[in-house]
A and B are shown apart, each in its own frame.
Chain A
Amino acid sequence: MINYNYTIRRLNEDREFSPVEKYKKLTNFSVIRGKNAIGKSTLLHLIAYSFFGYDSRSYESKYHQINKILSDKINQFNDNNEQSLLSSFEIIDESTGRKLCSEKKENDDFPVVYEVSEDGDKNYLSYEKFAQKYCVIYDIPDKPTDRISNLVDDVKLINQKLLEKIEKFSVHLEKIESDISNAKDPEKIKLIQTKIEKMETTLEPLKTNNINYSDRKKLLEILILKNDYLNIHKKVTEWQRKIEEYKLKKTLSSKEQKQREKLKDKIRVNYSSFSQYYLKAVQGSAQITAINETDQFKRLKAIQDKLSLSNWDWTSEVQSQIRDYSTFLENMYEKYRSDHKVAGIYEQLLNLLRELDRNGERLPKVKLPDLIKDVKTLVSQHQQEKNIAEGIKATSTLIDNADEHLAEFINSIEDIGEGSSVLYENPADDSQLDLAPKIKEVEREIDELDDKRQDIKQKLIHFGIDCDDINSVISQLNRMFPLLYSKYRTMDPQTLEYSLKQISLEEREQTNKIEEMEFELRLSKKQLGEIQLKDSHPLYEKRTALYNLYSKILELKSDITQYNEYFDILRKNNHSGISEKIAFYNKSISKYFAHKLGKIPYIDSHVEVLEVDYLNRQFVLVGSNNVVKFDYFSTGQAQCIYIKSLLNQNMNRKVILMLDEISSMDDETMEIIYNEIREKRAAGQLIVVILAEKSNSEPSVEEL
């Protein structure tokens, strides 16, 4: 039984609508007939509205099956500016005796829905609770074949729901996996322990090797420092020797300078002597008639023009001339020297004759005075020659003296080894020989080197090497590095530097490696400690099965996701060249639709449907020539099919079924629907069925 009442007050029109008194009670299964505008549809709209028809979810097949084209009419009751609504519905479930009620008072925003048990207990229902127990189907026949697509939507939702469950389940598995991996894991413990052992085994020799690197590096650094020290030491010694040399040179230079001045004096003296003897020789020669007209004398005289102290180019030529003239004089002297002897004899003879004459003695046949006179003439003649010879001799002596001084002069200029200008330099100018700045510079160098040497010495002391006695360094190194020293001792400085770089590089790499390993080792030990403290996971033993299950779940998920492409294909209406997967899925979904429909009216009988191939828009029916296109079915038949499917998908909830304008279906089709309703009613699955049909006769309500 349905007891109801309502008042709709149209605010703009100032009118009220309420049901006719005699129709305020209806049986749960009724057909209402009558003309338009008698309130048939209003009643159906109000029932839908009163049981959550205002909630948009009611138009999703997942919850209820209210045709969307009716939503505007149902939701008109929400508009409080246009009208106010008071309503109450009480539906008594004939199979349980329970009441399902809906009530909206004037100030309520929406109707309140509740159940009343046979004992009178009220149980208010939220949308969700209502949807768990009840399903409102409210439809109006309108090209129903097309609306078979709603069935597709159902399946889409099933798939979606399944995917959601799979997703939830896979998340659950992931969490379990994560929990297991975070729980005590004997296998993991063993792995970490092995890893730790392996790392410790690897680390030990690495560390030892690193110490070795350190020793080698230390030795190389010492050897390089030692070399530097020795080099500096050597340089300092060299510089010191250089200073000594400079100082010595300075001393030596003073002596040489004196020598040089002496030589210069000697040159001047010899030149002067030479030139004096030469001039005297020329003058002497000019007095001697026997020679003063000779070519030899003329050549000697010509020398005079060449002589100069400021130019020494003449020396060899003049020396040659002088020596030639000397030879000439010697020859001349020899010539006049013989006549000189004869003159002496004549002179002795004259003296003898004069003696005889004085003594008065007479010589036979000789007139003594005449003889004395003749001899006297002879003596006079010979006396002139004698004078010439003596003049030549004197001149010869002068020339020889000149030659001697010229030779001394030549020797002196050769000794001094420089040009004639040397005679004109300032003997006091010895700036070129001032070595003091150089000595200072060298001493500064030595100081700098000494600083470096001290620095190196300090570094060596830091390494434990005393280099005061440089010779003891080798024995010190031999003691410090008994095995290594022999390897490096003969290396040249470049190789030492290279080796140090290489070893430093290797050491750095090794140190980094050791640090990384130690870090990892610490981490692993910490991890091991943490894992050992944890509790075991109850599913630890099943972890492999869980892993396999997870893979399986992902496969299932992938399959469903691929099947969902079916809906895209439908939407695009392009199913040429569909994949095997989609063809397989189409088969499954077609069978599902067929199961939902069961038998359908076809031509003049009811036929079992094997498949509803929505993709190809055809039915596969039992029997031969069994493929029938959707288009071959009449609207009524299609509506029948659709309604059957609606009823068949809500078997677990109590259904409120309302169909408006059922006159579009013929009697035979209606009979099928009536039978379906009767069957479901008998099974207690229907709580209300109200069918509305337009009729030109008086309003009537007939129980189904």
Chain B
Amino acid sequence: MEQNELIMDYLRSLFEDETDKDIVALLWDFVDEDIDDVLDDILSLMERTK
């Protein structure tokens, strides 16, 4: 398993709520340049799951 996948699994395991898991995964992936993209993704995610 890739290192990043391992970390991702670990991070997802920290939360019970699926949306929380997804948000943390998206946050982990973000780098400074794409923060607005991450925000869009998270907002879309929240819109889908509400």
Extra 17 A-B pairs, beta carbons < 8 Å, given A548-B46, A650-B3? A158-B7, A158-B11, A165-B28, A168-B32, A169-B27, A169-B39, A172-B35, A549-B43, A549-B46, A552-B19, A553-B23, A556-B24, A588-B14, A591-B10, A595-B10, A648-B6, A652-B3
**A545 at the B interface (CB under 8 A):** yes
Nearest to A589 among chain B residues (CB) is B10
Q: Which of B7-21 contact A (CB under 8 A)?
A: 7, 9-11, 13-15, 19-20
- Chain B, interface size category, equals 20 to 34
Say what secondary structure dominates the interface of chain A.
helix
Q: What 0/1 pattern do residues 571 to 602 of A give for CB contact below 8 A with B? A: 00000000000000101110110011000000
User: Which residues of A are in contact with B by a Cβ distance under 8 Å?
Assistant: 155, 158, 162, 165-166, 168-169, 172-173, 176, 542, 545-546, 548-549, 552-553, 555-556, 559-560, 563, 585, 587-589, 591-592, 595-596, 648-652
A559 contacts B46, C-beta separation under 8 Å: no
A585 contacts B27, C-beta separation under 8 Å: no
User: Which residues of B are in contact with A by a Cβ distance under 8 Å?
Assistant: 1-4, 6-7, 9-11, 13-15, 19-20, 23-24, 27-28, 30, 32, 35, 38-39, 42-43, 46-47
Choose one: B9, B11, B20, B39; the contact of A172 (CB below 8 Å).
B39
A173 to B3, CA, bound (A): 29
A402 to B23, CA, bound (A): 146
B6 contacts A556, C-beta separation under 8 Å: no
Nearest to B14 among chain A residues (CB) is A588
Nearest to B29 among chain A residues (CB) is A165
A552 contacts B20, C-beta separation under 8 Å: yes
Q: Across the interface, which residues of A come within 8 angstroms of B2, CB to CB?
A: 651-652
A155 contacts B3, C-beta separation under 8 Å: no
* Residue from B13, B14, B15, B47 having most chain A Cβ neighbours under 10 A: B14
Q: Across the interface, which residues of A come within 8 angstroms of B7, CB to CB?
A: 158, 592
User: Contacts A166-B27, A545-B47 known; A595 to B35 CB distance under 8 Å?
Assistant: no
A17: min CB distance to chain B, Å = 38
User: Which 3 pairs, one residue from A and one from B, show the smallest C-beta to C-beta distance?
Assistant: A592-B10, A588-B13, A651-B3
Q: Across the interface, which residues of B come within 8 angstroms of A589, CB to CB?
A: 10
B14 contacts A563, C-beta separation under 8 Å: yes
A520 to B15, CA, bound (A): 48
User: Contacts A169-B38, A549-B46, A595-B1 known; A162 to B13 CB distance under 8 Å?
Assistant: no
A556 to B12, CA, bound (A): 12
Nearest to B38 among chain A residues (CB) is A169
A649 to B24, CA, bound (A): 20
Choose one: B13, B14, B30, B42; the contact of A165 (CB below 8 Å).
B30
A155 contacts B15, C-beta separation under 8 Å: no
A468 to B35, CA, bound (A): 87
Q: Across the interface, which residues of A come within 8 angstroms of B11, CB to CB?
A: 158, 162
